[in-house]
Amino acid sequence: MSIQYQYCHTYGFDREKIKERLRLFQLNKNDLETAKLLQEMVVQPNSGPIINKFYSYLFNHKEYRSFLPSDKILEDIKNTQLHYLMTLGENFGSENYFDNRLLVGVTHNKIGMPLSLYECAYQKLRAIILVLKIISLDMSLAIDSYMDANMHQLEDNIDQLTKISRKLQYRCDIDPLTNISNRNCILKNIRSSILEADKKDTPLSIVMIDFDNLGTVNDKYGHMVGDLLLKSAVEVIKPLLSDVDKFGRYGGDEFIIVLPGKDNDNAQEQAMHIHTVIGEKIFQIGTHELEIHLSYGVATHVENESLSDLLKHVDFSLLENKVLHD
């Protein structure tokens, strides 16, 4: 990494750590198009109102006012904020993007703004952007509906916006390879299932699956074959689940199944059934006849147990099973 990226160098964000952070948030090249749509449809047409509304919010709260400088300096800060907004998501995997975003945190730290206020300001800015997205849509609908001559164009615009909205929502929730829930979505499902189980005093179990030999397949036949094998295995598992079960990719070759209403015995039985079905299956991937081996762990939620503790328990169960079968 070039030393010109001062803050990346200071905080240890080399290329590998940048990749790790992107993987943590499941950001990839496909999301660059999403960021571009956000800029074109929301940020760029409304950059001025976004900045004005954001600073109006800050001035109306005394906790923030003490950190805001004089009018002259404030204009410079607004211009900096505008630059930040106009580059939001632009080439987000680059060293330059990370360096600029790290600088933002350093700057707020230097002026002494507490982290809690800093996080609230970020949430407010995000809320303003989402609201303006809706306002932009409403405005376009109102104008187009007023112009009767453009009615057909309006219908096309609505159809296009609906498709874009569905596409964005799909990308937020779905793993692009396997077409099941991604990490963020499956974790949200577990959280909501925990709340439901505690509220109704019903059992809840989760199963963590790890496809053990996927790395070997990737090394021997290539990642394209490995991806197709993983996708095929997921398609075999899906019919083995009920309508209330949730299935998602936790990361890499690890998957989680959420089983509302299932106690530990029932969850163990279902996990064993999946293990048996996959173990007996020969997958035809191109000219290759392949097997895929999986390990699993099971954990059952106990009252008032947090999401992180439940995940620790199922991860430990998975490791125990791996050790037993090695």
pLDDT at 140: 40
Quote the CA–CA distance of 245 and 241 in Å, as a whole number: 6
Where are the strands (E) in 154-301, listed by range? Answer: 204-211, 246-251, 254-260, 283-285, 288-290, 294-300
pLDDT at 234: 96
Q: Is the pTM of this model over 0.75?
A: no
Beta strands 283-285 and 246-251: pairing type? unpaired
pLDDT at 138: 41
Using a 10 angstrom Cβ sphere, with 0-12 exposed, 13-18 middle and 19 or more buried, the burial of residue 299 is buried
Average pLDDT for runs of 10 along the chain of length 326: 70 83 77 78 81 78 70 70 78 82 69 63 65 40 40 61 67 86 93 94 96 92 94 96 95 94 96 96 94 95 92 95 76
Q: Where are the domains of the chain?
A: 28-91+114-173, 183-325
The second-level CATH assignment, the architecture, of 183-325 is 2-Layer Sandwich (3.30)
Coil/strand/helix, residue 259: strand
pLDDT at 137: 43
Quote the CA–CA distance of 307 and 313 in Å, as a whole number: 10
Beta strands 288-290 and 254-260: pairing type? unpaired
| CA–CA distances in Å: residue 149 to residues 140, 144, 154, 155, 159 | 15, 9, 10, 12, 18
pLDDT at 144: 38
Are 249 and 175 in contact by the 8 Å Cβ rule? The answer is yes
Closest residue by Cα to residue 183 from 170, 174, 196: 174
